[in-house]
Amino acid sequence: MKLRLTILLSLILACEIESQILTLDSILKAITTSNPELRMYDERIKSAAEYAVGARSLDPPQVGAGFFMTPYNPMMWKADDMTGSQGMGSFMVSAQQMFMNRQKRNANANVMRGMANVDLQMQGAMRNEMYAMAKMSYYMWVTLQKKLFVLDESEKLLEYLVKSAELRYTYGMDKLSAYYKSKAMLSDIKSMRLMTEFEIIQQRISLNTLMNRNKEIVFAIDTTLPIKTFEPAGFDSSYIASQKSQYKLISENANLLRARQNLERSRLKPDFGIKYDHMVGFGRQPQQFSLMGMVTIPIAPWSSKMYKSSVSGLGFEIEALGLQQQALLNNISGALNSYQQQIKTKKLQLDLYTTQIIPSLRKNYEVSLIAFEQNKEELFMTLDAWQNLKLIQLNYLDMLYDLLQLQVNYEKELEIR
């Protein structure tokens, strides 16, 4: 009984999985939460934040112990009344602490925080790329499903024509060559179906991979296609800058270089230290101590040149990043205008297909089929009319996918989800 229940529950679960329908929005959410490449950046951001906390720490103290100004001859360590010697040498305990300049520590922490901000924008750019990949696979799947519908319709028609051709040939009403042509076309449709189903499996594997799921999980998708209308051309550069992760990434890289520049400037600031030594003299020598303050002199010409050249070199890198941002804005603005014109043209083409071309060819095919059924037209003519309709329908779906690709590229440029 338990075995039967287990099998029944497994079958129910399998049916639920197979009947699961995922929308594009749910797939994008799953990518955001589960994709390991995106989660990797979360961990890197956390690590940089921890590094920033540790960057404010001081250097560890140094302690030491040993003999100080002690003769090699141990006999000389002791006091000697006969010679009047008080003894020589001592045992010393030493402690030293360096205090890094506060500006250096703050600048070092700012560099670590800048690395976290760079990783954050890199994550955004990676997420945008993955969203575009998911949309491409999703829309390809939808168009393939629509192609399957066309192939189903074609297969049913050809099966009917093949049977009709058999009867007509039997009674000498049609040619044998027409029968074999319809059989060949039917086999070609079945071959196209197999290839289309294979491509759907490939898209499902691609989406499961992006969602970091078992690649063999079977699910369906919502076949509703969103044909969107975008705003007219004329993009404000500030809007593009606020939307584009790649632009923000360049800005954060520039901020990171400025933080490194400040770090190099801070190296010209002196560090301070203190050192304390305590000596316990041998023999009758008194206890002694040494207390010293220390300061580094980084402005010395032989050491400051390196820091100054680094500051200057980083300044040129920052200027280069500014020019890179200008080039990026120019390229994105041009791409958006181009996509808008292509989308407009593609919509006009699709409208011609749906309002004129496909209806005309469908009417031609229906008239030819009626004539064939009334023995007024040969099978060859009906097959040609059907083939022209099928090719135009498939071509329409290819153009529809081209339009969806343009939409995805447009949304990718502006990072519209």
Label residue 16 by pLDDT band (50, 70, 90): very low
pLDDT tens figures, 279-323: 998 888 889 999 999 998 887 777 777 888 888 899 999 999 999
In the block, residue with structure tokens 């890094």: 100
Q: Which residues neighbour 281 within 8 Å (Cβ) at sequence distance 6 or greater?
A: 87, 89, 90, 287, 288
Note the pLDDT of residue 12: 47
Instruction: Inform me whether the pLDDT recorded for 243 exceeds 90.
Output: no
Q: Which CATH superfamily is domain 19-70+87-414 in?
A: Outer membrane efflux proteins (OEP) (1.20.1600.10)
What SS3 state is found at 229? coil
pLDDT tens figures, 253-277: 999 999 999 988 888 888 899 999 9
Note the pLDDT of residue 14: 47
- Span 29-54, mean pLDDT? 91
Cα 191 off chain centre by: 36
- Span 65-70, mean pLDDT? 92
Note the pLDDT of residue 136: 95
Question: What gap in Å lies between CA 395 and CA 158, rounded to an integer?
Answer: 20
Domain residue ranges in the chain: 19-70+87-414
pTM of the model: 0.81
Residue 198 DSSP label: H
Question: What gap in Å lies between CA 377 and CA 168, rounded to an integer?
Answer: 12
What contacts 24+ positions apart, CB below 8 Å, involve 165-170?
165/379, 168/375, 168/379
Average predicted confidence (pLDDT) for the chain: 86
Note the pLDDT of residue 13: 45
Label residue 173 by pLDDT band (50, 70, 90): low
